[in-house]
């Protein structure tokens, strides 16, 4: 079954080394999204990027320690995204959050699994 609907994309740009209460920030955000019943979240690790401080973050072969860019994408209904934002305000010290309206198509398997 194919279900189209209007939704919102929340995109969170942070660093791989960013932490929240002792754990990686990206993990804490995804765990929070799951606890709040969000439709889903995906974490993407960047190979190259820079932020407001213009410091270049890159994946070089000989580097032992990395602080690569991380992007977390969450797509859900605008009301659910809005409920997540106050928590992100408390969790993110340095980063960027964007929101945009998207057209979402959800695919559901209607066959019963045996």
pTM comes to: 0.83
Region 37-65 average pLDDT? 75
Region 11-39 average pLDDT? 96
Kindly tell me if the per-residue pLDDT of 32 is higher than 60. Answer: yes
Output the pLDDT for position 1.
Answer: 78
Which of 12-24 are b and which e, b meaning 16 or more Cβ less than 10 Å from the residue's Cβ? bbbbbebebeeeb
76-90 confidence digits (pLDDT tens): 999 999 999 999 999
Region 39-46 average pLDDT? 94
Determine the Cα–Cα distance for residues 84 and 108; give it in Å rounded to an integer.
25
For 25, the 3-state DSSP assignment is helix
Question: In this structure, what token pair is assigned to residue 72?
Answer: 């977390």
Determine the Cα–Cα distance for residues 2 and 85; give it in Å rounded to an integer.
29
2-51+69-107 to CATH, choices 3.30.70.150, 3.90.1150.10, 3.30.70.120, 1.10.3720.10: 3.30.70.120
């Amino acid at each position: 079954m194919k279900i189209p609907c209007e939704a919102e994309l929340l995109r969170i740009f942070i660093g791989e080394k960013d932490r929240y209460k002792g754990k990686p920030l990206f993990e804490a955000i995804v765990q929070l999204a799951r606890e709040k019943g969000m439709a889903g979240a995906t974490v993407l690790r960047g190979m190259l990027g820079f932020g407001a401080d213009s410091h270049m973050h890159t994946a070089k072969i000989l580097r032992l320690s990395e602080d690569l860019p991380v992007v977390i994408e969450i797509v859900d209904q605008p009301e659910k995204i809005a409920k997540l934002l106050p928590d992100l305000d408390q969790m993110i010290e340095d980063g960027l959050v964007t929101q945009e309206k998207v057209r979402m198509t959800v695919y559901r398997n209607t066959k019963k699994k045996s």
